[in-house]
């Protein structure tokens, strides 16, 4: 794919009509000051307000303000994935549309990618203007993510990030995996990951679009991305290992019962009435089930290459 711009900026949004004009003007001023060619791809994730109308007006006046409108709300991960597919800049920046991410950070993020050769640079909102109900769970999730993924970032979920173009073309973001793009990039072979302290703005318009479900989805997605990164190409190594251990435990108990019945307790109680018998049976059955699960996962993994499909209603000058 031909790279046409220095920077592509992907902005996922949902009901953010008040902030879009101000955001684009701010981005344009910063890019012009640093003489960087750029495009902004707004991904309207099924907004119910006038967000798409604002994007259309921007595109008429500024052709590098582009847009994709989903037919319905799919979530931030779907919006980012569609934006990644459309962009053609050497460096790709992601940022939120609510003006809490400062475009002033973009030139330095761009420099870190181009001059320091990072594959990915993640923003760190060291000083946050979020309520305590959001900051405390965020600290816990970041701690857990560091422990599980081995990537030592302070703020995995910061919307302001920079990537080499090849990175975003090599990964697929789905479900709620937007929180864990750095691990996805690492597991794809891009392990030079940096971090930059970025300015966090207090929310100027509207309200947050994330509800309490993030407290459930976050840990589950973290476990998913850790499992996928380690075992997506070899699920038998996970399921088969557990199955083998369980089967051997069951076999060991069975062997013990047989030896005990033949040489020690010949006239004692029936084998089927002993606790060890049920442990042996349950372990062997579960072991076989885990082994079969690994075998089926191997078959699915080797034959599945279909990506998620998101229904796009309208586009503005994107590939």
Highest mean pLDDT among 178-187, 188-197, 223-232: 188-197
Structure confidence by residue, pLDDT tens digits, 10-24: 999 999 999 999 999
pLDDT score, position 127: 76
What's the CA gap between 52 and 13, in Å, rounded?
10
pLDDT at position 246 over 70: yes
Task: Pull the structure tokens for residue 269.
Answer: 């109680």
> Bridge partners of 136?
none
How is domain 5-232 classified at the CATH fold level? Spore Coat Polysaccharide Biosynthesis Protein SpsA; Chain A (3.90.550)
DSSP notation for 218-283: HHHHHHHHHHHHHHTT-HHHHHHHHHHHHHHHHHHHHHHHHHIIIII-TTSS-GGGSHHHHHHHHH
Q: Are 143 and 156 in contact (CB under 8 A)?
A: no
Q: What is the tens place of the pLDDT at every residue in 66-87? A: 999 999 999 999 999 999 999 9
Beta bridge partners of 101: 200
């Amino acid at each position: 794919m031909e790279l046409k711009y220095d920077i592509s900026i992907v902005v996922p949004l949902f009901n953010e009509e008040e902030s879009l004009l101000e955001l684009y003007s701010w981005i344009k001023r910063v890019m012009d000051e640093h003489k960087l060619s750029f495009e902004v791809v707004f991904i309207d994730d099924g907004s119910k307000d006038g967000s798409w109308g604002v994007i259309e007006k921007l595109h008429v006046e500024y052709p590098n303000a582009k847009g994709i409108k989903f037919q319905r709300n799919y979530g931030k991960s779907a919006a980012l994935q569609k934006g990644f597919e459309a962009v053609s800049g050497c460096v790709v920046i992601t940022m939120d549309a609510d003006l809490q991410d400062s475009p002033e950070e973009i030139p330095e993020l761009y420099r870190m990618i181009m001059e320091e050769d990072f594959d990915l640079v993640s923003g760190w909102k060291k000083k946050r203007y979020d309520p305590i109900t959001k900051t405390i769970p965020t600290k816990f999730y970041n701690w857990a993510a560091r422990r599980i993924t081995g990537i030592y970032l302070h703020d995995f979920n910061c919307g302001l990030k920079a990537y080499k173009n090849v990175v975003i073309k090599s990964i697929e973001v789905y479900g709620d995996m937007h929180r864990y793009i750095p691990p996805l990039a690492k597991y794809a072979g891009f392990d030079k990951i940096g971090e930059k302290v970025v300015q966090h703005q207090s929310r100027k318009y509207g309200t947050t679009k994330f509800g309490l479900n993030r407290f459930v989805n976050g840990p589950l997605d973290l476990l998913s991305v850790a499992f996928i990164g380690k075992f997506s190409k070899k699920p038998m190594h996970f399921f088969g290992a557990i199955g083998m251990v369980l089967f051997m435990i069951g076999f060991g108990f069975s062997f013990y019962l047989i030896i005990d019945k033949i040489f020690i307790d010949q006239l004692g109680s029936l084998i089927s009435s002993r606790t060890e018998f049920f442990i042996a049976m349950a372990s062997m059955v579960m072991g076989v089930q885990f082994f079969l699960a690994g075998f089926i996962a191997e078959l699915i993994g080797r034959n599945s290459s279909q990506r998620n499909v998101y229904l796009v209603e309208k586009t503005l000058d994107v590939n």
